[in-house]
Amino acid sequence: MGRKVVISPYFFWGLVWLVAVIWSLHVAGVFQGDLVNEGGWSLVVAFLVTVVSPDLSSEFLLLTFDAMLKTLAYAVCGTFFCVVIGLVGGVLSSQVWWKSLGRGYDSAWLVVRAILAIPRAIHELIWGLFFVNIFGLDPLVAVLAITIPFGAITAKVFSEILDETPRKALFALLNSGVPPLSAFVYSLIPQAFPNLLSYSFYRFECSIRSATVLGIIGAGGLGYQIYLSLQSLRYQQVWTLIFALLLLSGCTDFLSGWLRQQLQLPSRLDLNVLKLKQHSHNHPIPSSPNLFLLNAFVLLIFSFWYVKADFAKLWEPRSAERLAGIIQDVFPPQWIDLNQLFVLSTQTLAMSILAMTGAGLGGILLSFLAARRERWGDGAMGRWGTRGPRDRQGVGIRGNGGMGRNLVSLLTRFLLLFSRAVPEPIWALIFLFVLFPGILPGAIALAIHNFGILGRLMAEVIENLDQRPLRSLTALGASNSQVFIYGVLPATIPRFLAYILYRWEVCIRATVIVGLVGAGGLGRLLTEQMSNFDYQGLLTTLIVFIGLTFVVDVISASVRRSLR
């Protein structure tokens, strides 16, 4: 009998990925003709030259400061509501909640998750365009556009955190006759709270970026001002606004890192459920974040005051009439040009594959440079290729190159911050200067933005590596390159792939926002139909788009399971 050949999941999915990338390049037209618009290079040069001379006039600085506060306020208000929805929806869509109610509710959590899957499949930009038609250009539009999809996403993540939290205390209370809700509040929620809070802050970082993007449809803020200045070729103003956006994103990033450090949590978005259990069980909430929570409450009150959203419009008869009119115009959907929808769906899928390939490879390469060496075991791993002196335990001693390596780390982290702070549509507009309209500039824009996000998340994985296996390899005489190959890569690559696949699920939804500026795919068609008030065609395109996102979610989840 012959040997049974066992194919490694990594080899199989790697081959599938390679075929998908080649197919995506073909769909993008890379093998077919000219892609570069030579006449656009002068605009790119003019844009880059003005980086050293931003508009620092007092009038424009005041405008920039107002736009920055407005973006921050949108993000704070949207995050507050999405966390509230996330808590309620997270409990109702968790298996452990329905199990605590007893038998007869085994599949109820699936129903709730299915309901929440629809709003999170639609990008916040589409929600924003939808609410503009109901409420007009009111700040309420931006708040709701962040709240609804992010609330559904937060509910999904919260439910997974609750399901992975130790349940002994919960069932002990239930067996003692305590009502399920009270048992949750006094047992499961306190254990999961550090992880819930950490993810809430991660969602706030996402809300900052989304509030910037929503400005492009007229909601105001930094995104709106950047879009206006870029369209009118006022590059000095663009750089002033970008620097303000970098300041806002940098402060958020710093506070997020500080909070996670105080809560002793390693990552913004920990996809490893074993770590979720460990952190929930072992780390109580320290007292130092209490002052932070007080400041957050003050910021929340200020944000609602500064935004001045007219929440009364939610129950005004006029809003209900507009909503009823839109619903009447939407049904039934028009299934006319299915061939066009299929072609645009393949373009959207190809755009997301190219984007995540570039973002993933770039993130992996630069994450090792971005990781803080004092936190990820510079002593255990040394500088790869050069073995430094060791102490008696075999642990390397930091040499004179530490300052240079810290400088490289700082510069790399700034590059990652810059790439993720600038919204995808702005990147797409810049690349449309030198590339002809199509999915390629959209893919590049999405790749650069997600590269900044993935690089930072991957750097945190490296910073929080378990040092014991690395120290053991070093003590056994392994070279720095051997420690890296046999110690670092096996511990990091599975997490890297999980992050890439997760961001792919997000990226397929984000293709809508680059389509807004003409980068192709279903996003461009959605924008045209919304502008032309073609609601029946819009519903058809949305159904196809939601179906495509579900397909990507299923593929991503299947790959993650097979690679565990």
* Same domain (yes/no): 360, 276: no
* Same domain (yes/no): 58, 188: yes
Q: What percent of the chain stands above pLDDT 90?
A: 15
Terminal CA-CA length for the chain: 31
Q: Which of 68-77, 347-356, 412-421, 433-442 has the lowest mean pLDDT?
A: 433-442
Average pLDDT over residues 137-143: 86
pLDDT tens, 489-507?
Answer: 888 888 888 889 888 888 8
Distance CA 171, CA 311 (A): 41
- Going 220 to 223 to 226 to 230, the CA torsion angle's sign is negative
Q: What percent of the chain stands above pLDDT 70?
A: 86
Predicted confidence at residue 357, as pLDDT, reads 93
Confidence check: pLDDT of 124 > 50: yes
CATH of residue 265's domain is: 1.10.3720.10
User: What average pLDDT does the chain have?
Assistant: 80
* Same domain (yes/no): 175, 124: yes
Distance CA 244, CA 558 (A): 40
Is residue 225 within 8 A of residue 216, CB to CB? The reply is no
Average pLDDT over residues 26-39: 78
Q: Is residue 458 part of a domain?
A: yes
Q: Is residue 188 part of a domain?
A: yes
Predicted confidence at residue 543, as pLDDT, reads 86
Predicted confidence at residue 447, as pLDDT, reads 93
Q: By C-alpha distance, which of 313, 344, 73 is closest to 214?
A: 73
* Same domain (yes/no): 314, 441: no
pTM assigned to the model:
0.80
Is residue 19 within 8 A of residue 13, CB to CB? The reply is no
Average pLDDT over residues 75-90: 92
* Same domain (yes/no): 409, 462: yes
Predicted confidence at residue 82, as pLDDT, reads 92
Q: Where are the alpha helices (DSSP H) in 215-272?
A: 222-231, 235-262
Q: Is residue 47 part of a domain?
A: no
Predicted confidence at residue 263, as pLDDT, reads 63
Query: Encoding tokens for residue 382?
Result: 């040394």
Characterise 188 by phi-psi region: left (phi > 0), alpha (psi -120 to 50), beta (else).
Answer: alpha
Helices 189-214 and 222-231 pack at an angle, to 10 degrees, of 30
Is residue 344 within 8 A of residue 521, CB to CB? The reply is yes
- CA 235 vs. chain centroid, Å, equals 28
Distance CA 353, CA 440 (A): 11
* Same domain (yes/no): 304, 364: no
Number of domains in the chain: 2
Distance CA 541, CA 545 (A): 6
Is residue 402 within 8 A of residue 493, CB to CB? The reply is no
* Same domain (yes/no): 288, 385: no
Confidence check: pLDDT of 161 > 80: yes
Q: Is residue 104 part of a domain?
A: yes
Confidence check: pLDDT of 134 > 80: yes
Tell me which residue range forms the domain holding 258. Answer: 54-318
* Same domain (yes/no): 424, 304: no
* Same domain (yes/no): 288, 243: yes
Predicted confidence at residue 292, as pLDDT, reads 67
Residues 6+ apart with CB under 8 A from 336: 537, 540
Confidence check: pLDDT of 33 > 80: no
Average pLDDT over residues 231-238: 88
Q: Is residue 39 part of a domain?
A: no
Confidence check: pLDDT of 283 > 50: no
* Same domain (yes/no): 295, 355: no
Predicted confidence at residue 446, as pLDDT, reads 92
- CA 355 vs. chain centroid, Å, equals 14
Q: Is residue 42 part of a domain?
A: no
Number of neighbours of residue 306 by Cβ within 10 angstroms: 17
Give the model's confidence band at 395: pLDDT under 50 very low, under 70 low, under 90 confident, else very high.
very low
Average pLDDT over residues 443-448: 92
Average pLDDT over residues 384-388: 39
Q: Is residue 446 part of a domain?
A: yes
